[in-house]
Structure formats: C-alpha cells, structure tokens
Amino acid sequence: MLYLVRMEVNIPLDMPKERADAIKAEERDYAQQLQRDGRWSHLWRVVGEYSNYSVFDVADNDELHTLLSALPLFPFMDIKVTPLAKHPSAVE
C-alpha cells in the first residue's frame, strides 16, 4: 500500500545541540536504510520549513505505524498520513 506522509519536526529549543545532532544523525541513518530497502520510496523537503512529504510503500497500516514510530525524531513530530489509491485516469 502507498501512503503520503507529511512530517513536521518540532525539536524543543532547549534541547542541547549535541543531543539534537545525535538524534538527527540516527534519523538520517534509519531513513536512508528504509529508502534503500524500498519502503520509503520518496522523500521531499518542504521549502522554508523543517518538514517533509514522503511516500511509503508498505504492506499495511500496522507496518507504516511501526516504521514511523521507530523514527528517532518521532517524539518531536506532527505526522499526517494519507492512504493513496490508483487514479482511474493515471497513465501507468
């Protein structure tokens, strides 16, 4: 199943820089691994914001929830998920 996911990151301003940098590095490694294995198929930055739009290709809602909740930045994110279906007018 395909899902469009918007993630807005809100790291607390009082978090020590070293801690924030470590979490971001863990996030990058995890996100790149999910991209390599094909489950995180697209990742786009939203210009001017600390947020992104992503497309995930996973088996079901439960798998998506597991992947998202394992993101190191998950505790600091507002996430919106939109399940996607093929459009009848789309050229394949």
Q: What residue ranges do the domains of the chain occupy? A: 2-84
**Would you state the CATH architecture of domain 2-84?**
2-Layer Sandwich (3.30)
The string of pLDDT tens digits covering residues 64-80 is: 999 999 999 999 999 99
d(CA 44, CA 21): 20
Average pLDDT over residues 15-42: 98
What pLDDT is stored for residue 33 in this prediction? 98
Which among 64, 52, 56, 53 has a CA at the least distance from the CA of 38? 56
Contacts of 36 (CB under 8 A, 6+ apart): none
The string of pLDDT tens digits covering residues 30-89 is: 999 999 999 999 999 999 999 999 999 999 999 999 999 999 999 999 999 999 999 999
Residue 10 pLDDT > 90: yes
Which among 23, 25, 26, 28 has a CA at the least distance from the CA of 10? 23
- Cα dihedral across residues 81, 85, 88, 92: positive or negative: positive
